[in-house]
Amino acid sequence: MIHRDIKPDNVLLKPDAAGARLNYRPILTDFGLAKLTASSESAVTEQQPIGTYPYMSPEQCLAEDVDQRSDIYSIGIVLYEPTVGRLPYNPKSIAEAVRYHTREPLPLPSALRAGFPSDLESVIVKALQKEPNKRYQTAADFAADLQSMLRPIADSGPGRRACCART
């Protein structure tokens, strides 16, 4: 399944049943634009771009084939926004979305926020590569890198966790 409209409004955070501190499980909602893909089918193509401009992948902006790597890009934008404190791009039209997502360099989190953790920046930058083949190829790979990077943050006390709080 390809969601095609991953954005903060479509992600709910559910507290962990165990009640552990800072343990929330993301729940993805609003599958109105989602497409099921058959096992023989690797991508979905539309005649025109669909989605929410600031969170669309480059290939989605161009109405090209999209696959799970497009959703990975969108999750990267969702991760970028609260950790940096702003969107990397804020297009108001499809023309602006195409320009920003396909041609404009990604504003590096470390350039916008002093002391931004380099390991988190690496994960975000990889998720937001313009070329799908340079991104995480699976959500499992993305999650594994994010999990391994987040463990030290959760264990290092309130000062470190604060680096990732929205300002």
CA angle 137, 135, 73 (to 5 degrees): 100
Task: Characterise 21 by phi-psi region: left (phi > 0), alpha (psi -120 to 50), beta (else).
Answer: beta
Judge contact between 163 and 154, C-beta under 8 A.
no
DSSP assignment, residue 15? E
CA dist 75 and 84 (Å) reads 14
Please list the residues that pair with 103 across neighbouring strands: none
Residue 23, CB-side half-sphere exposure with 13 Å CA sphere: 8
- Given the residues 5, 9, 30, 145, the one annotated as active site: 5
Q: Is 145 a catalytic residue?
A: no
| Token couple for 152 | 């030290």
CA dist 73 and 147 (Å) reads 17
Active site residues: 5
